[in-house]
Amino acid sequence: MPWRTENGTQSKRFRLLLLQEGVRQPYETGCISRILPALQPERSANQMNMWPVIDMTATGRNIARLRKQAGMTVRDLQDAFGFSNPQAIYKWQRGQAMPTLDNMVILAAVLGVGIDDIIVCNGPFQAKIIA
């Protein structure tokens, strides 16, 4: 539990935050969400913007491009994944959804590329992931 130390006692900081919020019992509904911001370390605007964010639309276009480069149709991918219909693949290509991590690994293997070749990130760097 986040409010317990290694020996099982509540940390003084956590108890103080609970009291400041008027929480009498640590299991009270919503108490964690009320004090969670106070438990998070302060971050500057620069620190918040330094993490990469997946660009779903560009990633979807990338999936379609890589599929075509591999000479595969949507039906071929559908069969490779064992999907009963191609809706998920079309959603990936339109950027409306992302493949699960398991499906991303399979997609990379089927297309013969690395996961980092599929995912497009906005931010200071492109994430490097090796499948």
CA angle 113, 76, 115 (to 5 degrees): 20
Long-range contacts of 36-40 (CB under 8 A, 24+ apart): 39/2, 39/13, 39/14
User: What is the pLDDT at residue 129?
Assistant: 46
Residue 65 sits in the same domain as residue 117: yes
Residue 70 sits in the same domain as residue 16: no
Cα 73 from Cα 54, distance rounded (Å): 25
User: What is the pLDDT at residue 52?
Assistant: 76
Domain count within the chain: 2
* Per-position pLDDT tens, the chain of length 131: 454 445 555 556 656 666 666 655 555 445 455 555 555 555 555 555 567 788 999 999 999 999 999 999 999 999 999 999 999 999 999 999 999 999 999 999 999 999 989 999 886 555 454 44
Cα 32 from Cα 73, distance rounded (Å): 48
Residue 114 sits in the same domain as residue 88: yes
User: What is the pLDDT at residue 47?
Assistant: 54
Token reading at 107: 């997609």
Residue 118 sits in the same domain as residue 57: yes
Answer yes or no: is 30 within a domain. yes
Answer yes or no: is 47 within a domain. no
Residue 69 sits in the same domain as residue 19: no
Cα 30 from Cα 7, distance rounded (Å): 25
Residue 58 sits in the same domain as residue 117: yes
Residue 31 sits in the same domain as residue 60: no
Cα 14 from Cα 52, distance rounded (Å): 31
Residue 68 sits in the same domain as residue 117: yes
Cα 23 from Cα 25, distance rounded (Å): 6
Cα 32 from Cα 26, distance rounded (Å): 8
Q: Residue 35 belongs to what domain range?
A: 12-40
Residue 57 sits in the same domain as residue 27: no
Rounded to two decimals, what is the model's pTM?
A: 0.59
Q: Are 4 and 10 in contact (CB under 8 A)?
A: yes
